Amino acid sequence: MAHSPMTDHDDAYDPTPDNSELEAHLQTKNMVINLGPSHPAMHGTVRMRVELDGEILAKVDTEIGFLHRGFQKSCESVTWTQVIPYTDRLNYVSALMNNFGYLNAVEKLMGIEIPERAKYIRVIGAELHRIADHLTATGALGLELGAFAAFLYGIEARELVADRVTELTGARLTTNFGRIGGCNRDLPPGWIEKTIKTLDRTIELADEVGGLLTRNRIFTDRCRGTGVITTEDALDHGFTGPCLRACGVNYDIRKAKPYWVYDRMKFDVPLGKNGDNLDRYLCRVEEIKQSVSIVRQALEQIPPGPVILDDWRIVLPPKEEVYSTIEGVMAHFKLVMEGVQVPVGEVYDSTEAANGELGWYLRSNGSGRPYKVHVRAPGFHILSGVGKMIEGRMLADLIPTFDTINMIGGEVEQ
Amino acid sequence: MSDEQKPVAPPAAPPGPPAKAPPKNPGMVTFTVDGREVIAKPGTNMVDAAKTVGVEIPFYCYHPRLSIAANCRMCLVEASNSPKLVPACQTAIGEGVAIKTATPKVKESQRAVMEFLLLNHPVDCAICDQAGECKLQDYYMRHDHKPSRLERVGGEGTSGMKVLRNKRKIIGPNVVLDQERCVLCTRCVRFMDEVAKEPQLGVFNRGSHEVIDVHPKYGALDNNYSGNVVDICPVGALLSRDFRFRARVWFLSAAPTVCTGCSNGCSVSADFMGQDVYRYRPRENEAINKSWMCDQGRPTYKAFHASRLLMPVIGKGADAREATNSEAVKYAAMKLKPLAGSVAFAVAPTVSNEDLMASFAFARDVLQSKTVYVTGRAPGAGDNFLMKADKNPNRKGLTWIAKGFGFELKTFADFTAALDKNAIKALYLVGSDVPEDAEVFAKRLAGVELVVAAAMHETPVTGAAHVQLPASSHIEDEGTFTQEAGITQRVRRAFPPRGESWPAWKWAVELGKELGGAAVYGTSREVFRTLAPQVAELKDYAWDKETPMNVKGQGNQTLPAGADGRPPGWREQGVPRIRGI
């Protein structure tokens, strides 16, 4: 008689689960998803490998490098002056601050003092671009939390600033402005009046943005108490700029180590308390107002005079000298072909960029090209703390957090 | 002499300058430059002595191989034993003297000298061949960097008050003179007088009318060493007619090589861009050519480009067709195989030692040849300075290698005699140069059953070959040459071989491989390392260390890197070897 397998189970087989099975804990495992590298909320091209336990962020692993361009090495194979357009591409939202920060470091290495008027132009340019940067960051924060109108007002103001920057530098985004020893051009005629009008309108628009967001229940609920970082952690990770000040640490290089003419400007450094997204947002909104005030003061105080040094070892001679005197053509030739001869040495210098301390470590071997260029991008250090800020919180908190740290791929990934 | 007049004890020495202290370092002179102690041989001038501690004193007229004129005044420095500034090129160092090269007084003097030199200088950098390697530009930026104070009568863009002189005077077959650019350092005058020993150049007129010109007795600067005045001219006054307007110097890279125009083997730098050489400049070599080279050797670089054999050709006459390299190797091997043992071997002493050694190894081990016929260029004019009558750059190397490989050297006369007797059935020929008319020689080859020629140029000789293998020039591969006095020099590769050409050693290796030979070398370095031990004179040569590429300070001037910041020669070396690509 053939053996039937069914016979063994005839009694045991019962498709209905018993009670103990029904009451067992649901077996789940964490889900791993990719946020980015191509995602509208991932500014630039950052990949976040997010491990989700339900909607809770179990682990956030940030991966950068998709926008790596070999910035530092590129700088080392061109002349000191040719580095300036490369710096545009660091924090491309506020290129002027990169230009000026780099130039400030080179000038410190060379031990030269730029003319007064050039210092004012640098303060004006840097603050205009700080306004533009903060408007973008706050506008985009609203946008990504669903408040599209605020973004439009922010961008309208940013456009006005971009128009003034275009008139000053000739470019909207990649400004390539400033040269070793000062600025390559003076303020255009009538620019000061236009800029004052722009500032008036910018304040109005910034108030609109603030009005739409700051007292918006949905917005504040999503920002308050989310993305929190403690003061200790922020310091440990090397936070600077609005992200550090939102934790209540009063550190602003413009005050701590005043450069150019910041010591002559009256302005406050807004401080937060909780180190959460809302405080970072509020710091930025207030900084826009302070920057507007700085630009107004600078436009009032700006003295007449040259905007660049008169030393043909550093600065290109005027064109009429180049075309009609041998001295001019020689200086021009040597500066263009071999570059400004920067004395042997090394320097670290930093300025307060929109997102924090933009530091430059430069090293010269006495030639016309940098021997070493290293950039301390503020966003890099802040990005390193993003895991601490949101691990254990909700997935939805990641978006405002990533917005308020305002990581810029160009400078972080270089 | 009487007793009364007998002198008493000599009086005490009158008070005067204290006795000189003995030299701090006996036999040497010890002094200080900018506070740093320098020890140098007596008689050394301050420029050279300061250089030993890294202090650079600027100068135009001084040249270490010429007499000292001290007329440019650029090298004036402060010395503790002189109330006035002293010319550092002319002043020998003194014991205990303190020289200062960077005081305000010296700097002001340098600035003033520069201003005077540039006063009448035309606004020419944009059209001047010297731009980029001009000492006026260098020193202007270092020591002057101030605007012109010359009145520009006639408005912007005019020459204003500048003194105008002859702008383009062709003064000889090789040299053109721009008197406006001249700073009257007289280096060229002294060179023609002291080195070339034919004072064809002189200074004419006086004051602001002073110019360099050709002496009427000579009429033209046609000495065989006239090209050197272009090299030593610190500004753009004397320019090479050959090089003028052909390339901007900052685009050129320099490869150290040797001149193959004659058997003297002058060290030169080949300035190249892409796969073209633009000029030869003499490279300093104390043992051979000092800082000079002759006008016969200067244009020999043109042979790298002219009528080159760039593709292998198989077949002869109407059957001739271009082939790929591997096809040519197979074809040649197929033809050579049945004739092994009866293939004659002829080389021209114009190829490198590596080419010779690989070819000899192939002839001996694969072709079973015991004799070598020496072809090469016919002797020509020589002089008692640098130009030699033997125009073959590597005859010495050939002699050494033939001896080392156990070959019997046979002359060209033996060769033609054997050819005329139809005693040669097949021939492996390296180099197309023959010391007689090429057409005549090609006719002699007509009776040979198979001619395989590895040669650089298309000539009637290669036209008579059944397999033409394109050989690369010595600028296209690493190698060594041994000049007449037995000095072996390294040449460095500037760019990859043109066309499909291979170095002659590679043709020998590939043919050998195809015919079942054991020799496999991938590079000329391997050829040298493997085969040089068989040659007594070459086996101890430091092949890797000699004449490194891109060392600053070779030759008169060093060239900057590519204007875009890449190292010299980057374009030519192809894609860099990066792991993973």
Amino acid type, B504: A
Residue of A nearest to B160 (CA): A324
Of B500, B497, B520, B488, which is closest to residue B572 (Cα–Cα)? B497
Contacts of B123 in chain A (CB under 8 A): 323-326, 329
What is the model's pLDDT at position B573?
Answer: 42
Q: Is residue B435 part of a domain?
A: yes
Which pTM was predicted? 0.81
Lowest mean pLDDT, pick from B24-28, B468-472, B481-485, B491-495: B24-28
By percentage, how much of chain B surpasses pLDDT 90?
Answer: 59
List average pLDDT for each run of 10 residues in chain A, which is 414 residues long. 51 72 74 84 82 87 87 86 91 90 93 93 93 91 87 91 92 91 91 93 90 88 88 91 91 91 91 90 92 93 92 90 89 89 92 91 88 91 88 87 84 83
Residue of B nearest to A79 (CA): B565
Cα dihedral B10/B16/B17/B23 (nearest 10)? 0
B150/A330 Cβ within 8 A? no
What is the model's pLDDT at position A240?
Answer: 92
Q: Is residue A40 part of a domain?
A: no
| pLDDT score of B151 more than 90 | no
Cis peptide before B87 (omega within 30 of 0): no
B148/A333 Cβ within 8 A? no
A337/B250 Cβ within 8 A? yes
Q: Is A204 on the interface with B (CB under 8 A)?
A: no
Q: How confident is the model at residue B111 (pLDDT cuts 50, 70, 90)?
A: very high
Alpha-carbon distance A68 to nearest alpha carbon in chain B (angstroms): 18
Lowest mean pLDDT, pick from A293-297, B248-252, B291-295, B572-576: B572-576
What is the model's pLDDT at position B156?
Answer: 54
What are the tokens at B256? 């150290």
String of b and e for B293-328 (b: at least 16 CB within 10 Å)?
bbbbbbebbebbeeebbebbbbebeeeeeebebeeb
Domain of B88, CATH number, reads 3.10.20.740
Q: How confident is the model at residue B561 (pLDDT cuts 50, 70, 90)?
A: very low
What are the tokens at A343? 């004395």
A130 to A220, A264, B514: CA distances (angstroms): 24, 18, 72
A323/B157 Cβ within 8 A? yes
Report the 10 Å Cβ neighbour count for A26: 4
Q: Is residue A11 part of a domain?
A: no
What is the model's pLDDT at position B95?
Answer: 87
Residue of B nearest to A331 (CA): B141
What is the average pLDDT across B333-345? Answer: 89
Q: Is residue A208 part of a domain?
A: yes
A320/B145 Cβ within 8 A? no
Contacts of B136 in chain A (CB under 8 A): 330
What is the model's pLDDT at position A297?
Answer: 93
Alpha-carbon distance A110 to nearest alpha carbon in chain B (angstroms): 15
Burial of B480 (0-12, 13-18, 19+ CB in 10 A): buried
Q: How confident is the model at residue B564 (pLDDT cuts 50, 70, 90)?
A: very low
What is the model's pLDDT at position B179?
Answer: 92
Q: Is A237 on the interface with B (CB under 8 A)?
A: no
Q: Is residue B280 part of a domain?
A: no
Q: Is residue A39 part of a domain?
A: no
| pLDDT score of B189 more than 90 | yes
Alpha-carbon distance A198 to nearest alpha carbon in chain B (angstroms): 41
Q: Is residue B208 part of a domain?
A: no
Q: Is A321 on the interface with B (CB under 8 A)?
A: yes
Domain of A234, CATH number, reads 1.10.645.10
Q: Is residue B485 part of a domain?
A: yes
B565/A78 Cβ within 8 A? yes
Domain residue limits at B505: 313-534
What is the average pLDDT across B101-123? Answer: 92
Contacts of B144 in chain A (CB under 8 A): 327
Is residue B477 helix, strand or coil?
coil
Number of domains in chain A: 1
What is the model's pLDDT at position B87?
Answer: 93
List residues of chain B with CB under 8 Å from any CB of chain A: 118, 121-126, 131-132, 136-138, 140-141, 144-148, 150, 152, 156-158, 160, 250, 560, 563-566
DSSP letter assigned to residue B140: I
B158/A333 Cβ within 8 A? no
**Cβ proximity of B347 and B430 under 8 Å:** yes
Task: Among B116, B134, B140, pick the best mutation site for testing chain A contact (most A Cβ within 10 A).
Answer: B140
Domain residue limits at A253: 71-413
Residue B39 forms beta bridges with which residues?
B30
What is the model's pLDDT at position B558?
Answer: 34
Contacts of B129 in chain A (CB under 8 A): none
The radius of gyration of chain B from alpha carbons, rounded to an integer in Å, stands at 30
Q: Is A329 on the interface with B (CB under 8 A)?
A: yes
Alpha-carbon distance B249 to nearest alpha carbon in chain A (angstroms): 11
Q: Is residue B164 part of a domain?
A: no
Q: Which of A312, A326, A329 sits opposite B145 (nearest CB)?
A: A312
| pLDDT score of B348 more than 50 | yes
B125/A329 Cβ within 8 A? yes
Burial of A77 (0-12, 13-18, 19+ CB in 10 A): middle
What are the tokens at B118? 């540039």
Contacts of B131 in chain A (CB under 8 A): 333
**Cβ proximity of A182 and A307 under 8 Å:** yes
What confidence tens digit (pLDDT) does each residue in B8-22 have? 666 665 666 666 677
What is the model's pLDDT at position B549?
Answer: 67
Q: Is residue A5 part of a domain?
A: no
What is the model's pLDDT at position A165?
Answer: 93
Considering only residues B571 and A359, tell me which one the structure prediction assigns the higher pLDDT. A359
Q: Is residue A9 part of a domain?
A: no
SS3 track for chain A: CCCCHHHHHCCCCCCCCCHHHHHCCCCCCCEEEEECCCCCCCCCCCEEEEEEECCEEEEEEEECCCCCCCHHHHHHCCCCCCHHHHHHCCCCCCHHHHHHHHHHHHHHHHCCCCCHHHHHHHHHHHHHHHHHHHHHHHHHHHHHCCCHHHHHHHHHHHHHHHHHHHHHHCCCCCCCCCECCECCCCCCCCHHHHHHHHHHHHHHHHHHHHHHHCCCHHHHHHHCCCCCCCHHHHHHHCCCCHHHHCCCCCCCHHHHCCCCCHHHCCCCCCCCCCCCHHHHHHHHHHHHHHHHHHHHHHHHHCCCCCCECCCCCCCCCCHHHHHHCHHHHHHHHHHHHHCCCCCCEEEEEEEEECCEEEEEEEEECCCCCCCEEEEECHHHHHHHCHHHHHCCCEHHHHHHHHHHHCCCHHHHHC
Q: Is A369 on the interface with B (CB under 8 A)?
A: yes
φ, ψ dihedrals at A386, nearest 5°: -65, -30
Task: Among A312, A334, A369, A371, pick the best mutation site for testing chain B contact (most B Cβ within 10 A).
Answer: A334
**Cβ proximity of A225 and A397 under 8 Å:** no
Helices B524-531 and B353-365 meet at what angle, rounded to 10?
A: 60
Task: Among A333, A335, A371, pick the best mutation site for testing chain B contact (most B Cβ within 10 A).
Answer: A333
Q: Which of A325, A327, A369 sits opposite B565 (nearest CB)?
A: A369
What is the model's pLDDT at position B349?
Answer: 94
What is the average pLDDT across B199-206? Answer: 93
Q: Is residue A117 part of a domain?
A: yes
**Cβ proximity of B465 and B443 under 8 Å:** no
Is residue B322 helix, strand or coil?
strand
Number of domains in chain B: 2
What is the average pLDDT across B171-200? Answer: 93
Q: Is A77 on the interface with B (CB under 8 A)?
A: yes
Q: Is residue B319 part of a domain?
A: yes
Alpha-carbon distance A345 to nearest alpha carbon in chain B (angstroms): 18
Distance CA A195, CA B334 (A): 85
Distance CA B192, CA B170 (A): 17
Contacts of A334 in chain B (CB under 8 A): 137-138, 140-141
Alpha-carbon distance B550 to nearest alpha carbon in chain A (angstroms): 17
Domain of B437, CATH number, reads 3.40.50.740
By percentage, how much of chain B surpasses pLDDT 70?
Answer: 89
Distance CA B24, CA A20 (A): 105
What are the tokens at B39? 């020890």
What is the model's pLDDT at position B149?
Answer: 85
**For residue B211, what is the enclosing H or E element?**
strand B211-214
| pLDDT score of B293 more than 80 | yes
Alpha-carbon distance B468 to nearest alpha carbon in chain A (angstroms): 44
Q: How confident is the model at residue B194 (pLDDT cuts 50, 70, 90)?
A: very high
Q: Is A83 on the interface with B (CB under 8 A)?
A: no
**Cβ proximity of B409 and B399 under 8 Å:** yes
Query: Do the strands B321-322 and B313-314 form a parallel or antiparallel pair, or are they unpaired?
Result: antiparallel
What is the average pLDDT across B378-407? Answer: 92
Contacts of A79 in chain B (CB under 8 A): 565
**Cβ proximity of B479 and B355 under 8 Å:** yes
Distance CA B369, CA B353 (A): 19
**Cβ proximity of B386 and B472 under 8 Å:** no
Q: Is residue B556 part of a domain?
A: no
Distance CA B436, CA B112 (A): 61
What is the average pLDDT across B37-54? Answer: 89
Distance CA B541, CA B72 (A): 43
B140/A334 Cβ within 8 A? yes
